[in-house]
Amino acid sequence: MEPSSDKYMRLETLLLPLETHSSLSVRFALSFCFRDDDVIAVTYPKSGTIWMQEILPLVLNGGDLTPIHTIPNWDRVPWLEEKRLELVVNQLLPPRALVTHFTYNIMPPSFHTSRAKVIYVMRNPLDAVVSSYYFHQMAEFLDDPGSFDEFIDRFLEGRVMFGKWTDHVKSWRHTKLGDRIMYITYEEMVQDLPAAIRRISTFLGRRLSEETIQKIAEHCSFNAMKANTMSNFSLVPKQFMDNDKSSFLRKGKSGDWKNHFSAEQLARFSSVICKDLGDEILSLPYELNQLEHRGNENESQ
């Protein structure tokens, strides 16, 4: 099943939802003027974007909770490529925090000539595809995902918003950004959020007290975000996101893929991901080659 042409636009190999993107918003993004003190979190969809929209303002402002309680997350840390940026960019106080799903090769020229810092958040693709599947069920502006088995194939082939997970990861693993980029995983953040915030604050040159770090972690916990109307997307009208079908902030855990993948699906998924990554698999924190082996073992039992 091909993605619906009336719901997406194409930017090179990427599919962008028309509800939140337009030719004008993409043009604005590609000509955006980055400043040296800007910070941008980069993610593949469903890999921790909303979490970073919560964390970054608090790290940058020293733990002042005002923005996360008064400004919707899509305006407090806007997407580079979405329609909202042009509307709110002049309201962003320095240092500005942004997020993007762009691959590295699409970033605007000013990004490369600036000293803007990047935090790349990566999530186990097994969990990313599960999260994306449920998001497609509740987001009325996206295609019907079909069955989970069908959606796995769409994900692996890149027939989903922002293309293939492997292309996205590879593009950001091989940059010329040097000390401008920091890599962190969704799983690290789940396992020890204060430690992740400590790393982020150090990378951004913020000297936060342990008390402030703990406060930020508490207010950026899954339960706190799920209860915060400025962060849980409950302000979005039902015709765009139907929370009755699935909550936008669903579980906030790692490893939920184990409740969804059959042995055959796991073997198929891991095999394709490993093949697409090639030697890159050796530098990733997920032992997908072992997952593939486990899937084959389970299948033969």
List residues with catalytic annotation.
Answer: 101
Q: How far apart are CA 175 and CA 265, in angstroms?
A: 32
Give the separation between CA 297 and CA 301, rounded to whole angstroms.
7
Residues 86/28, Cβ–Cβ less than 8 Å: yes
In the three-class reduction of DSSP (H, G, I as helix; E, B as strand; rest coil), residue 212 is classed as helix
* β 181-185/8-11 pair status: unpaired
CA distance linking residue 214 with residue 218, whole number of Å? 6
For residue 110, the Cα-to-chain-centroid distance in whole angstroms is 22
In angstroms, rounded to a whole number, what is the distance separating the alpha carbons of residues 59 and 206? 7
**183 in helix, strand or coil?**
strand
Relative orientation angle of helices 263-277 and 165-173, to the nearest 10 degrees = 40
Residues 96, 37: Cα–Cα separation, whole Å: 7
φ, ψ of residue 127 in degrees (nearest 5): -75, -35
Instruction: Give the type of residue at 277.
Output: L
